[in-house]
A = this chain, B = another copy of it.
């Protein structure tokens, strides 16, 4: 009746319920792959100018923010702003759309909420 292949060793089937590689002290520990993904996103937030860019873009909740509107309030040059924007886009936090001569940015829906919720207590 089983659809599993007969070549599957029984040890492998058992390991689903009883993983062999997580010591008891580390029961609540993040797995390495997830920790690396989260760390990369927090790294994108670890710069004051990127947080300020994000605060401007995210306060435009229903609209995109033109790259042309960012240098003045931040007191930064356009290339510096573009450098920070690229890091936020690469981290999956901002969405970029090029139209005509300008690029427009918006927060990826759910990206900040999902990152923020990793810091809140689990119920």
Interface residue ranges, A against B (CB under 8 Å): 22-23, 25-30, 32, 35-36, 38-40, 42-43, 45-52, 55-56, 58-61, 69-70, 72-74, 112-113, 115-121
Contact = CB atoms under 8 A, between A and B. Distances in A.
Question: Looking at chain A's contact residues, is the secondary structure mostly helix, strand, loop, or mixed?
Answer: helix
Contact of A113 (B22, B25, B70, B121): B121
A50 B42 CA distance: 12
Contacts of A115: 119
Contact of A35 (B30, B42, B48, B116): B48
Contacts of A51: 30, 35, 38-39, 42
Contacts of A116: 116-120
